Amino acid sequence: MDVNRALSQQAMPPSVKNHRPLASSAQSFLTHLNLPHHPTHSGIDIEELSFVGPGVFELPRGNSKNSHSSTPHSNASFHEPPPPIGPISLLELHDDSYVELARTACTMTAPTLAMMELWLRLFALLVGPLCVVCLVTREIARLGGDHASGGDRSVRRADAIMIMAILAVASSAVLFTDSLYVYEYGRSFGCCLFVASSVLATRLAREFQQAADGSVRCDKNHKRRMKQRANCFSALVWGLLFTTMIVFLRSDGGHMINLALEKVPTISILSGVASTATTAMKRHDNNPLTVISDPGIDLPTIEPGFYHSSNPLIQSIAKHWPESSRSYNVSNGATPYLVNGDQRTGIPFLVNKVEEQEYVRVYVQNPFDKEYLALDIAFPFQITREKGKEWTKTIYKIHDPLYITSINQFILSYMDSTVDLTKNMSKTLYLVVDPRAAPSLGMMDTTMIGWNVFHGARTGDVDIAARAVKRGLVEMAREMGVRTPILAGVGYSMGAIILSNYVARSGSHCALDSAIAISGGLDMRQQLNFKRSMRLWQPMLTFGLREDILLGKYARHYKHRLTKEQFRSMLRVTSISHLDVEAIVNYNSFDDLVHYYSEMSAMGDRDPEFQLFDDKNEGTCNTDKDGFWGRIANVSIPFVVLQALDDPLVGWRTIGTANAQGLAESGSGNIILLLTKAGGHVGWPVGTNPKKEGWKWMNDAARDFVLAVAAANQDLCMKKRSKENIVDR
């Protein structure tokens, strides 16, 4: 296969074609960047990050387990010519088997069910009290003797009342047992509402039963239908009550129920047998998702706040960082009627819209696997000043998020809003989107020449792209006679995870000057028991990823590399975590999911906290122990971890430790933790109309942090010059 010809013939997506002439400084920057506009070798020697291993963990090395034995093709298959990239028919995916295709189609109901449950949870706070008020009003009317107005004789009205009662019980049960609502309001509010709705619903069920039994004017068929409705309604009510109580009793992870059952002799014997069987299963099952228990209701034990060390640079950054862009609450503009993490996550992505951004695309090559990485750069075309005044102090390098709606729109919204905000400051903002660190973009629609599709532990692409941009900045600043601009990394969701891992692994060799990880995670092993995310949010994410990326582009790669059973399991997964097992782990020959998440995480080389594997290290931190913090202590640049504790996708435990201040002071003290009580996942909506403001708070936080870094660096330089002048005198 002629690789260069295949690469040169690929079409550039319309969104990355610039239709207007560039400003002089933009053109100068591209000239000094010296990267080709087509995927051909530029002649620039790119330094490989060899100090942390070949290719920065581009592919797993030396497996300690038998992961190869479960895979039909060894790593030698990566030396074969790769299959073509593109969509494949559903029937071909299932080896022309209609039966297997039907089985896969049945699993597609999971995203639908998850969406229905999620909508209930989104509006439970509105639906629950409203339905209870309506039922109470009806009861008052009946007690006053207004039986006719009760509407029980009308079948349609009776059905509406039944539905209202079911919604009242279901919504109040959510308010009583859901971790996000309990985190916001505590147990008392939900408990009172649940008791009230339960009493009203059971009274209503008994009333309908009596009405059906006492109906003598109706014919037999109508009476039978009334009886069936009443029985169905009673079963639903009691089923909801029983399920809610079980969920409530299991809020501690089931420990109280297990202790109670152990006191019953017969059940205790059966429990012992089940425990033995479970232990045997854990020894043979290498999928932690099936053996790690659910922690129950998962309330954060970390206090929200702004954690930083006494490092002079970090203290100066904190001083220059406006409090308004690092404090998220109603008094600071947070949307008051969005009351939990689900709403603060979902609503902005439903209502926010942005215009399409124009890009200039250039390419850089990864020397490890010779893949060409597409870098899309957005210039503010509306600024036409001379290059001396147009040049910026900061350049953002953005890693895309993994999210539900159009990922392009989300990244573009960040670009548009930050350009608008910085335009008034007479500064130009360049935004660079990274390639294979962006799985949800489908590797930027670039053509691959090998087998190395996405996995989250790859940090080599980040380094290659960052060093290429940094080189261009240095050359241009030298020509202009100005200080080299700050190159700042901004990562969202999956991009934040990869960015954090890169900053930790690269240490003092990091090519960035500062970085901020938004809604990512420092220890993704803590996602292994985040069952709520797997049940509610991940099915929708999984559906989109599987259709657009795994099947729409690289299905033939996975089909060739995986066994038939593994490939079909990949087609039927319903969560990101299970997709990581069936696709990422098996395809790339990681030992298991724990191995993959450990390599992907900035704090993955530490013993996990919060008793993840039933260890006795619950939230205890001994920072005096040498090497306790692992590679996260190697961070050498100002690095911010921005995370909301009500994040419904990436759990609060992924912060990695209960000792937030200890983490901030680890190593040289370059880590800043900005933990907000509210905000959701890549959300933080503001204003009474979130659509108007977009993602303003999150954008302001990233912008103001980088500007604070620039101001802090300037302060340190001035202090240094003052000391030198004093010494000279």
- Render pLDDT for 633-664 as a digit per residue (tens, 0 to 9): 999 999 999 999 999 999 999 999 999 999 99
* Weakest-pLDDT range from 123-132, 145-154, 247-256, 528-537: 145-154
pLDDT in the model for residue 728: 57
With pLDDT > 70 as the criterion, what percentage of the chain qualifies? 70
pLDDT band at 724 (very low <50, low <70, confident <90, very high): low
**36-48 as b/e: b if 16+ CB within 10 A:** beebeebeeebeb
Residue 139 Cα distances to 134, 161, 169, 199, 202, angstroms: 9, 12, 16, 11, 13
pLDDT, tens digit (0-9, with 9 covering 90-100), for 348-377 = 888 887 666 667 788 888 777 778 887 777
pLDDT at site 391 = 38
Task: Indicate the pLDDT class of residue 418, thresholds 50, 70 and 90.
Answer: very low
Confidence of residue 281 (pLDDT cuts 50, 70, 90): very low
DSSP string across 533-602: HHHHTHHHHHHHHIIIIIITTSHHHHHHHS-HHHHHHHHT--SHHHHIIIIIIHHHT-S-HHHHHHHHST
- pLDDT value, residue 269: 53
pLDDT band for position 491 (50/70/90)? Answer: confident
145 — phi, psi (to 5°)? 95, 5
Q: What is the model's pTM? A: 0.84
Higher pLDDT, 393 or 198: 198
Q: Reply yes or no on whether the pLDDT at 303 is more than 70.
A: yes
**Selection from 655, 686, 700, 596 nearest residue 307 by Cα:** 655
pLDDT of residue 218: 59
> What DSSP element (H or E) covers 214?
helix 179-214
> Over pLDDT 90: what percentage of the chain?
27
Between 101 and 43, residue with greater pLDDT: 101
118-137 pLDDT tens trace = 888 999 999 999 999 999 98
Q: How far apart are CA 632 and CA 507, in angstroms?
A: 8
Read off the pLDDT of each residue in 546-575 and give the average, rounded to a whole number: 83
Domains, the chain, in order of start with CATH, read: 17-60+300-528+603-720 (3.40.50.1820), 123-251 (no CATH), 257-290 (no CATH)
Position 397 pLDDT exceeds 60? no
Query: Per-residue pLDDT for 606 more than 60?
Result: yes
Q: For residue 145, name the pLDDT band (cuts at 50, 70, 90).
A: low
Mean pLDDT, residues 575-579:
88
CA distance 345 to 325: 19
- Non-local CB neighbours of 148 within 8 Å, separated by 6+ positions: none
